[in-house]
Amino acid sequence: MKQVTKLFRFLKPYWKKSVISLVLLTAVVVMDLAIPRLVQRVIDQGVNAQNMQVVVNTFFIMLGISVLDTIFAIGNNNFSVQVGEGVARDMREAIFLKIQSFSFGNLDRLQTGQLMVRLSNDSGVVQRLFQITLRIGTRAPLLMIGSIILMFNTAPQLAVIMLPLLIITSAIIAVFSTKLGPLFLTMQQKLDKLNTVLQENIAGVRVVKAFVRARHEAARFEEANEDFTERNVRVTQLMSTLSPILNFALNIGVVIVIWSGGLQSIRMGNLSTGQIIAFVNYLQTTVVPLLNLVNLANIWAAAIASATRVNEVLDAETEVRDAPDAIVLPNFCRLQIKFENVCFHYNGSTDESVLHGISLTVEPGQKVAILGATGSGKSTLINLIPRFYDASEGRILVDGVDIRKVSQDSLLAQIGIVPQETVLFSGTVRDNIRYGRPDATDEEVVAGAKAAQAHDFILELPDGYETHVEERGTNLSGGQKQRIAIARALLTNPSILILDDSTSSVDVETETKIQSALDTLMKGRTSFIVAQRISTVLKADKIVVIDKGQIAAEGTHRELLQSSPIYQEIFASQLGNGINGS
Amino acid sequence: MADQTTTQPNASEIRSRMMRGGPGRPGKIEKARDPSRALIRLIPYLKPYTLILVIVFTFIMGSTVLGLIGPYLMGQAIDKFIAVKKISGLATIAIWMLVVFVLGNFCDAASGWMMASVSQKALKGVRHDLFGHLQTLSLKFFDTNTAGELMSRLTNDIDAINQAVSQNVVSLVASVLSMAGILLAMFLMNIWLTLAALAVVPLMLWFTNFVAKYTRKGFRELQKHLGEMTSVTEEAISGQRVIKAFRRNDSVIEAFRKSNQDVYKAGVYANSYALLLMPLTNQLGNLFVITIAGLGGWLALKGLVTIGTIAAFISYGRSFVNPLRQLSNIFNAIQGALAGAERVFEVIDTSPEVDDAPEAAPLDRVHGQVIFKNVQFSYTPEKPIIKNMTLEAKPGEIVALVGPTGAGKTTLVNLLTRFYEIDAGQIRIDGKDIRQIKKDDLRHQLGLVLQDTFLFSASVMDNIRYGRLEASDQEVIDAAKMADADLFIRKLPHSYQTMLSERGSNLSQGQRQMLSIARAILADPSILILDEATSSVDTRTEIRIQNALLRLMKGRTSFVIAHRLSTIQDADLLLVIKEGEIVEKGTHQQLLNQHGFYHHLYLSQFKGEQI
């Protein structure tokens, strides 16, 4: 509940439209309610009083009201749609902006798929809630209250008898709504489970087949299927009894009106037939909206879940933010980078630290290779330099300035990154190379591609530089994508270069080409290379061996070969029995 | 009056929209190519419930007829008793009304109750068949249909069938029945009033058509813009890190704003029309009442109708207008469901992987001699992948496959597992053509460790146990120890009971690989296939995995595919594959001495080391 009300702020820019929509809705309801009254007039003052004029006049009044009513209804419709769609648009934008502001720590916790769901589906569910509330949610109580008032107005003696009936009906509705909410939630969960099994069997078909697990999977699916069906049957059955129950309540009301009203009309003559008919009409308009209220309760139940997910994104603190008086670094300067006793934990201080006591100085133009096992903290270390994460303890200095005091934008402008996993964007090859510097000329793009050893294969593509890169770059090989990524980094002409080694997924020949492209890229820049292979690090000015979050050794290849047992071990493991550490 | 004067969407409509989640699905109307065939295919699923269905429809008829009698009795009560001030008999008619209402609502509730169970069970049957069949399909099917596409097709289509079977069919029957009944009752009571009332019908049809036309157009447009927005956001979110690194947030936000605005505009347009139907038909309902009151009043004054008739007509009117409005919705939903059913049956009709040897004797544990003899294979006829390949692996040997990307190494794995069938030649295990072995038996002999480790969203324990379901906890732990995974597993929050999220995304690549090795160890196959099992981990982890693999490979025939030559130097046989052919073979040392392609690869990998 609170989760949804929190999102009401999105209604604020539309409060005028919302009010207009509600006013129009009220007008519609009032007019809807006037009609039974006018029908009563036709019967009592027209037919029963033998007055044709009244019948004709009232007919035209009703017709006029109906026309006005239609106009108001259309108006209400348009305004409520505008509000609903507007809220959805603003919510999507807010979520998107928030995601764009996220630093890596935030992204680690939320996966792409989940974020997509929040952006499209969840915002849609909340939108629907707002829209329906503006239409049905308000209409139903208005109609009910109006009808009750008019019932009293038409025949107070009958209306009093109806009160207990209305109270019982409302109680039934309340029970249904509270019961259905959780039922819907569990049903949704069962459905998710069913879909997970299905999904896993499609995506993991090789594993299922290789292990001959079809029967096992079928049993798993059957269980989920059974679970979901059982729950679904219960919910559907409950839903299907609701409307007969409500109708029955309404019907009892009608019987009472006919019987008791009839008696009164005959015995005391204080009730006309027109009144009785009008009363029955109002009874209908009282009970029927209740059914819609139950539905609304369900929409609320769904919206609460969605709103919670939306709020999770919107309320997330962006971890890395610029200081209010952040320093802007000048363009292309040669920077010294210094780690001072840096510690890092991923989730605040509760988690085990990934890095501790890292102190390291890198002079401008130096080439530093970082070597270590999976999970030793290499990638974390380089992610601290562009402030993708902030150090938990200690500090990182650029030319003596704490990077937390520097604007991230100006810091990033100094840094070129070739990430471990190559991400290309939809667009042409040229667009992708130009990604880091959209104003680069075509000549610069070609020069970059040549330096990255990419020019030749690009020319062989169907449309050369204009070849469209498919979603996730599926029409390019891993090695080709990587060389485009190198050209992309090259074009930004960074003073600091970060290469997260990923040549592992390409074959040897391609790797050789990438290697020489990287050599070109690193020339004259402060470079950090996360590497797994000795061959990559041999030429480094400094090799840093990371082990269990600490710097285990630091020095040149020769020095380390002499002094560091870990380095010797890595070296031996890579060269195998072939050319043993010659 | 057992009529449901709901001019708002009914419960099921709202629920179904809710369950689907995504905005903008209504209005998208699909048609089945052969609706009657799809319908016929659905019938068997309902057949076991024939008796219940007969009862359900009897109840529906009962509730409809009784629903019509109610207002009639009310009219009678007014005319015959209240209007003429006759007291005796009023109680009787009131009791009759009560009886009719009780029975009518009972029928309504009972039919709904039973139908819920029948439809859900029938749907369960469809899902069961679909899943069961999916499992028999060949890998080719899964390779040509992307997972996402299949998923959305299966879930959405089944949902559409669900809607149709559980709600639309029933409301169709009820609507048609009650409309016919009302029409009859009205004609019997007063023909002139009926004709006047029916004047609303063409108006209603025109409105519905008018609105539907624009709604459809609007939603088509909306769907297009939603698609654009989805691709913009998907790219932006999955590429967030790169976007940030290259400081392109502003332009990405700009692109998003534009497509978001397009969606807004299309949404306002589409929904303005789509949601117009409700208030408009509401107004038409009013018009109906007004016509009857006006004309009825006039006729009453002429003595042609009674007041009771007018009252009954007003009641009937509401229950006549509603089904009329719903009919077009129901038709569209049923059409969509049939289109969905057609696609579901398309999957069910896809011919399954054939087992050439259904009667083959069960296979005992093999020794593990593997022979490829003149094997040829291509995924598409014009592009041969494996050209006339012949090789032999002796029991217990380690055979390494080396070569550039796309040379056909992984294809060999697909052929040995019979994920794909060879075009020509023969593959033999212990001298037996693998086409003479049941697929399940064959695969029981094979252990796979792939580069793309697939883990299930289950506990670590269950994921390892996937290799042998009856393994005890201790056996699982032993396997994990052998795979060098025990240590890191124990560091996980709940140790072996830690639940893996979405395909094990809470583990590192190396950790996932160790789990998949433990899984293979537990399965204890005679022949092992390692496809790039260590390629996405760093060298130190690789050593650990390598050692785990060596333990695993002991006593088994193993095929190892690797990019890194350092990992395969100990192999008994190295096969260098290029463009679907074996170009060199021998041991590491032999191949180095040949100074051929392997030598070239080896040098390029270790260049710079000759210090």
User: For B8-53, how does the pLDDT look when each residue is reduced to its tens digit (9 = 90+)?
Assistant: 333 333 333 333 333 334 444 566 777 788 888 888 888 899 999 9
Count helices and strands in chain B by DSSP H and E runs = 22, 10
Task: Mean pLDDT check: name the lowest of A198-212, A333-347, B333-347, B530-544.
Answer: B530-544
Pair of tokens at residue A395: 């500090």
* Residue in B35, B33, B77, B63 with CA at minimum distance from that of residue B334: B35
ipTM of this complex:
0.78
Q: What is the number of helices (H) and of strands (E) in chain A?
A: 22, 12
Residues in chain B: 611
Q: Examine the pLDDT at A578 and tell me if it is beyond 70.
A: no
Max CA pair span of chain A: 121
> pLDDT band at A298, cuts 50/70/90?
low
**Amino acid A430: pLDDT:** 92
Q: Which of A32, A81, A511 sits opposite B286 (nearest CB)?
A: A32
pLDDT surpasses 80 at B277: no
pLDDT for the residue B100: 93
| B316 close to B296: Cβ distance less than 8 angstroms | no
pLDDT tier for residue B58 given thresholds of 50, 70 and 90: very high
Report the residue from A89, A251, A510 with minimal CB separation from B70. A251
CA distance A387 to A396: 9
Give the one of B121, B252, B536 whose C-beta lies nearest to A505's C-beta: B536
pLDDT band at A390 (very low <50, low <70, confident <90, very high): confident
Contact A304, A375 (CB under 8 A): no
Residue A581 in this model has a pLDDT that exceeds 50: no
**pLDDT over 90 (residue B103):** yes
Distances (CA, A) of A309 to A128, A313, B246: 16, 7, 29
Residue B540: pLDDT band by 50, 70, 90 thresholds? low
Asked whether the beta carbons of residue A248 and residue B105 sit closer than 8 angstroms, the reply is yes
pLDDT at B586 over 70: yes
Name the β-bridge partners of A368. A528, A542
pLDDT at position B146:
67
Structure confidence at residue A471 (pLDDT): 65
Report pLDDT for B186: 85
Nearest residue on chain B to A226, alpha-carbon basis: B124
State mean pLDDT over A136-162. 85
Q: Is the pLDDT of residue A198 over 60?
A: yes
Q: HEC states along A435-478?
A: HHCCCCCHHHHHHHHHHCCCHHHHHHCCCHHHCEECHHHCCCCH
- For residues A480 and A449, give the distance between their C-alpha atoms in angstroms, rounded to a whole number: 11
* CB-nearest partner of A236 from B109, B120, B611: B120
Please report the pLDDT score of residue A268 as a whole number: 83
Which among B238, B417, B609 has the least Cβ separation from residue A575?
Answer: B609
| pLDDT(A319) > 60 | yes
Give B502's contacts in chain A (Cβ within 8 Å). 111, 113
Average of per-residue pLDDT across B542-555: 79
pLDDT at B99 over 90: yes
Contact A374, B508 (CB under 8 A): yes
What pLDDT score was predicted for residue B15? 34
What does the CA dihedral A107, A108, A111, A115 come to, rounded to 10 degrees?
-30
* Minimum distance, in Å, between the CA of residue B525 and any CA atom of chain A: 10
Looking at the complex, report in whole angstroms how far the Cα of residue A118 sits from the nearest Cα belonging to chain B: 11
Cβ of B275 within 8 Å of Cβ of A372? The answer is no
Lowest model confidence (mean pLDDT) among B40-44, B208-212, B405-409:
B405-409
pLDDT of the residue at B2: 35
Best of B601, B605, B607 to mutate (most A CBs within 10 Å, chain A) = B605
Tokens 């709600």 belong to which residue?
B167
A396 pLDDT band (50/70/90 cuts)? Answer: very high
Q: What is the pLDDT of residues B228-243, one digit of tens each?
A: 888 888 788 777 778 8
Greater confidence (B383 vs A369) lies with A369
Residue A582: is its pLDDT beyond 90?
no
Residue B108, pLDDT > 60, answer yes
As a whole number of angstroms, the distance between CA B351 and CA A457 comes to 41
From CA B540, how far away is CA A380, in angstroms rounded? Answer: 17
SS3 of residue B30 by DSSP = coil
Range A43-63 average pLDDT: 87
Rank A515-519, B107-111, B243-247, B274-278 by mean pLDDT and report only the highest.
Answer: B107-111
Cβ neighbours for A104, distance < 8 A, ≥ 6 positions apart: A383, A388, A389, B241
Q: Give contacts of A204 with chain B, Cβ < 8 Å.
A: 454, 456, 503
Size of interface A-B (CB pairs under 8 A): 506
Cβ separation A191–B19 shorter than 8 A: yes
For residue B135 the two structure tokens come to 């499992």
Does B564 score more than 70 pLDDT? no
Mean pLDDT of chain A: 82
Q: What is the pLDDT of residue A573?
A: 67
**Between B147-163 and A156-203, two packed helices, what is the crossing angle to 10 degrees?**
150
The pLDDT assigned to A351 comes to 53
Gyration radius (Cα) of chain A, Å: 36
| Higher local confidence (pLDDT), B400 or B327 | B400
